[in-house]
A and B are shown apart, each in its own frame.
Chain A
Amino acid sequence: MIDTYRALDWSYYGPELLSAIADTIYMVAWAFLLGGFIGLAIGLTLYTTRDGGLLSNKAAYMAMNFVVNLIRPIPFVILIAALQPVTIYVIGSGIGNDAVIFVMIWASTFAIARIVEQNLVSIDPGVIEAARAMGASRLRIILTVLLPEALGPLILGYTFVIIALTDMSALAGIIGGGGIGNFAIVEGYNRFNPEVTWLAVIVVIIFVQSLQLVGNWAARKVMRR
């Protein structure tokens, strides 16, 4: 096995692989940052507008809930195609890494919205009542009670999403994006180089495992349990 990899033309595959890894990190990072932020806002909206919530508002909750349910079940590869006109309008191009990021932001936003909502629901309502009784404003409660109290599970939820994004980014090649998935297909599969495909597999495993380890470590540190 090792001999197989020694035999690879590293002067070619080395730079190709590095640039594929860089593309994956670029796509995942941007989609995670923006989707994570917008998803957090939508998740907080879902949680606070639900019945009995801090900003209880049935119409707003139903509307937001409907949109999340509408987008979330769409398989990523279909979402890429379906969003094409919007992608071209916003990004200026329907192909390439940035176009992929745009679609990934949609997917991660709605996944995170649900994860945020679900984790906030599990917070003891008594803690929120205590903060209200102390005279904390609703915004302060959201920022200094809700989020810190749910931080551990939120970190695990975000870890789940960043790994899902790595998975999505592997489809980037469909609309001319790069990344490790594209590398595996173009350099490995299409050219009958299984060892190159397996190289990509190893890289993805290391990538995902590292993310999971960091996520678990951070969640444990926050929860101290």
Chain B
Amino acid sequence: MSTAPLIEFNNVSRTFGTGDKKVTAVDDVSLRVDRGEVYGVIGFSGAGKSTLIRLINGLERPTAGSVHVLGQEISAMREGQLTKVRSRIGMVFQQFNLFHSRNVAGNVAYPLKVAGWKKPEREARVEELLDFVGLADKATQYPEQLSGGQKQRVGIARALAAKPDILLADESTSALDPNTTGEVLRLLRRANEELGITIVAITHEMEVIRSIADRVAVMDQGRIVESGLVYDVFSSPRESKDASFVGAALKNRPTSEDVRRIRGHATGRLVVVSLQNAGAVSAVLGQAVSHGVSFEIVHGGMNTTKNASYGLLTLALEGEVSAVEAFVAALNSAGEVQEVHE
């Protein structure tokens, strides 16, 4: 098997309209997704995520740059030529997009018919998939008889039916409640771990990235402003723009408004300490009294990603200036400390 990336974008742009109405949905994006990984793309709505994911299976065409998927240049193929490669790319949608005229089994069987599977194999495969998503008893029901979470599980079964190499998840949990979201995310993770399928998930929910993604790209106004391992990106965002995005999404870095509110009750020096090594930070905090420093936890929290935990804690420190200075130095050896600017 080749080591070439499964998906590769080279300086891809997609604009809509012309003249004054010209909108650049995707702006000079380059990225690569390797076999077997879960690649998350996060951003506010309108950031160009939907267009980005549709460039992968040719539902959208780039206006500049090239898109290579599964060793083929998708961006150079005509609609008619795309049918073959599309059957190797499953897609899950925010609004499920199930066929109302077909029952659950019929929905899951549809991509198999498209891919030319014979009836006995088709039936066996449908049964296998409904087992996988836990809906074996719903085969003869119609989509309108199912709950949102069940519909999305049918959507996932349908997307996995033809044994694709890649699964595209387009805001797959955004129409679901928190409990159902967890259920669908666990299913996506199982698809990745047990079936080895490569997943590209776009979302505006941090929860999705945290629980399934290996790598993440932060998208803003059509550009990828930051990318890397989920842990690295979220524990120490490099650019102020994603610091605000990630901060807003994680709610563990105080905004200027938070700081004003904190100042209403806490005096002293405000610092943010990274909890990459939470144990070490706790140990230092335990020695506060011996430093002659008192502290109050005024903001922050911890999050758990697929592989690790991280978080930020904002502290208000009181004491002699030199004592506080020494205490901050001790903290800094346990976890990166940043001053809070007011």
Chain A positions within 8 Å of B, measured between CB atoms, are 124, 126-127, 129-138, 140, 144-145, 148-149, 151, 222, 224-225
Contact = CB atoms under 8 A, between A and B. Distances in A.
B59 A130 contact: no
Given A132-B59, A135-B83, A138-B79, A224 B89 contact: no
Interface residues of B, number: 31
A135 B91 CA distance: 11
Nearest to B56: A133
Across the A-B interface, give the 4 residue pairs with the lowest CB-CB distance, nearest first. A135-B86, A135-B87, A148-B101, A130-B97
A127 B80 contact: no
Given A140-B114, A224-B142, A135 B95 contact: no
B86 A127 contact: no
B99 A145 contact: yes
Given A131-B110, A134-B90, 7 more contacts: A127-B97, A132-B86, A133-B89, A135-B82, A135-B84, A136-B110, A144-B113
A124 B96 CA distance: 11
Chain B CB within 10 Å — which of A132, A149, A225 has the most?
A132
Interface in B145-175: 158, 162, 168
B99 A133 contact: no
Main secondary structure of the interface of B (DSSP, over half): mixed
Contacts of B99: 127, 130-131, 145, 148-149
A148 B99 CA distance: 9
B91 A149 contact: no
A140 B99 CA distance: 14
A58 B83 CA distance: 24
A134 B97 contact: no
Interface centre among A126, A133, A135, A137 (most CB of B within 10 A): A133
B117 to A, nearest CB: 12
A134 B79 CA distance: 13
Contacts of A132: 59, 86
26 contacts: A126-B97, A127-B98, A130-B91, A130-B98, A130-B99, A131-B99, A131-B114, A132-B59, A132-B86, A133-B59, A133-B86, A134-B87, A134-B91, A134-B162, A135-B82, A135-B84, A135-B86, A135-B111, A135-B114, A136-B83, A136-B110, A137-B83, A144-B110, A148-B102, A222-B101, A224-B142
A136 B97 contact: no
Contacts of A127: 97-100
A134 B100 contact: no
Contacts of B59: 129, 132-133
B284 interface: no
Contacts of A137: 80, 83
Contacts of B193: none
Contact of B97 (A129, A135, A138): A129
Interface in B70-89: 79-80, 82-87, 89
Interface centre among A130, A131, A144 (most CB of B within 10 A): A130
B95 A126 contact: yes
A126 B255 CA distance: 38
Nearest to B155: A130
Contacts of A126: 93, 95, 97
A148 B98 CA distance: 13
B24 to A, nearest CB: 20
Nearest to A149: B101
B91 A133 contact: yes
Nearest to B79: A138
B262 interface: no
Given A126-B93, A127-B99, A149-B101, A133 B57 contact: yes
B115 interface: yes
A144 B109 CA distance: 12
Contacts of A133: 57, 59, 86, 89-91, 168
Contact of A134 (B95, B102, B114, B144): B114
B80 to A, nearest CB: 7
Contacts of B97: 124, 126-127, 129-130
Nearest to B144: A225
A126 B113 CA distance: 20
Nearest to A127: B97
A124 B98 CA distance: 10
Contacts of B86: 132-135
A220 to B, nearest CB: 14
Contacts of B101: 148-149, 151, 222
B115 A135 contact: yes
